[in-house]
Amino acid sequence: MSTRPPARDEAREILATADSSLLDVVDNLLTKGVILSGDVVLGLAGIDLIYARLSVLLCAVDKLREIQEELG
Amino acid sequence: MTREPSAHVRELESLRAELERRVGDLSPPRWNADPEDVQRSVAKLVLTLVEFIRQLMERQAIRRMEAGTLTPEETEDVGRALMKLEETIVDIGKRFGLDPADLNLDLGPLGRLL
Amino acid sequence: MSDVYVYALLSEAPRPDAGAGLSAEPLRVVRVGDLVAAVGEMAERPVVSEATLRAHDAVVRRLAGAVDAILPVRFGAVLSESALTDALAARARELTAALALVAGRAQMTLRVLGERAAPAAPAEDGGGSGAGPGARYLTARRAEWRRTHDAPELAPLRPTLAALVKAERVTRHDAPPLLASVYHLVDRDAVPAYLEAVEGGSAALAPLRVAATGPWPPYAFAPEALG
């Protein structure tokens, strides 16, 4: 496991001196774009225990209905 | 579209500040109970997750309103349920000394929820 | 099998090949149904730095030039290939729809600048007379939702932009002088006309101003994370 600082802290460091073109790049790359990890790590006493993959669980009901209708 | 240099600097600074606020973390959010106050940690997690789900449902209800796929009765019922849920979250939070502002789970890439 | 770093989702594999990634790693594609993901082998997330961010953007731009439709992935997406396949399969419908929207198009970013935001649209009557508390609450929530996703400041530009803007996303900042960021999806060959329209209409926005950048790959038109 990496002991690097969290990405947010790394981002803040470069934001501190970013010129306007880098600010635009940060806006696009760090606040936009497809997110592929909708997961969470749960733990106790500082120890990570469970990795829960939420990305396959959450889906709007409308979409479920569409899929059901398609399946007949 | 020329702007004075000082105006330009102010604009840059405000974009910089906004991005500092909005940039989320890239790794999965972590919840780790504080061993000194497990009860409060649990309450905080539970309420934040419920608030998160409440917001998801609210967003979906609004989408359905826009799409016209909710009857007036359903609109009334869902609206009331969301109101009640919001009140409940605030009330239970108070019992653990949690203000709505405390319910701010860091959702990693999704940024801070609230 | 090592993890992969995901750069973008595409409608087709880039030809002749996907080239190299931000660590000079060779890129390949992972197919899930109609979706194609451009990935490179990578053990862990790269450091967030000016160099890595610009390199990731350069890869996405190169891929954008080689395909018709591209959905850029957020920086830092390192996952196992099986997790990637699961995520794409679960969201195939909305990702395919988003790809269809961005086909042949690019993003223009407008920063709306000024000291005071335009007033929001007037609050609507809560669901008509006789509406119960639940309907009034939901109507108020909808009004707030609309307010946070609207840029009324651009009203004077709407007539000239309407034909050019295929989709719009708004992030309100309401932190003068930065009032809002507006992301417009325009056909790639309409970018010069778009810039002309913004330039030509900017006087009508006074005392507000807009600053346009782009074209960008369509980062802002990815579907929301949780549908």
The more confident residue out of C125 and C111 is: C111
Burial class of residue A41, CB neighbours in 10 A (0-12, 13-18, 19+): middle
Binary contact (B30, A15; C-beta < 8 A): no
Contact C48 A7 (CB under 8 A): yes
Please give the structure tokens belonging to residue C191. 């970018």
Distance from CA of A11 to the nearest CA of B (A): 8
Mean pLDDT, chain A cut into blocks of 10 residues (72 residues total): 76 93 96 82 73 61 62 63
Give the count of Cβ contacts less than 8 A between chain B and C: 82
Task: Give the max Cα distance, chain C.
Answer: 65
DSSP-assigned letters across all residues of C75-120? TT-EE-HHHHHHHHHHTHHHHHHHHHHHTTEEEEEEEEE-SSPPPP
Q: How confident is the model at residue C226 (pLDDT cuts 50, 70, 90)?
A: low
Mean pLDDT value across chain C: 92
Closest in B20, B32, B111 to A44, CB measured: B32
Touching check for A23 and chain C: CB below 8 Å? Answer: no
Q: CB neighbours of B86 closer than 8 A, spacing ≥ 6?
A: B54
With CB atoms and an 8 Å threshold, state whether B75 touches C199: no
Using one digit for the tens of pLDDT, what is the confidence trace for C48-82?
999 999 999 999 999 999 999 999 999 999 988 98
For residue C172, the chain B residue with the least C-alpha distance is B18
Work out whether strand A39-44 and strand B30-33 pair parallel, antiparallel, or are unpaired. parallel
C131-171 tens-digit pLDDT: 899 999 999 999 998 999 999 999 999 999 999 999 999 99
Q: Which of B19, B36, B54, B57 to mutate to test the interface with A (most CBs of A within 10 A)?
A: B19
Q: Are the Cβ atoms of B18 and C178 closer than 8 angstroms? A: yes
Instruction: Give the amino acid at B61.
Output: A
Helical spans, DSSP H, in chain C: 50-66, 81-90, 92-102, 133-148, 158-161, 191-201
Chain-chain contact of C138 with B62 (C-beta, under 8 angstroms): yes
ipTM given for this complex = 0.92
Distance CA C141, CA C203 (A): 34
Residue with tokens 């679960």: C90
Distance CA C132, CA C3 (A): 53
Q: Using an 8 Å Cβ cutoff, are C35 and C88 in contact? A: yes
**Nearest-angstrom CA–CA distance, C124 and C136:** 10
Helix (H, G, I), strand (E, B) or coil at B3: coil
Return the pLDDT at A59: 54
Q: Does B63 touch chain C (CB under 8 A)?
A: no
Could you give the angle at which helices A20-31 and C50-66 cross, rounded to 10 degrees? 70
Cβ of residue A65 closer than 8 Å to a chain C Cβ: no
Is 0.80 surpassed by the pTM of this model?
Answer: yes
Query: Which residue of chain B is at minimal alpha-carbon distance from A26?
Result: B19
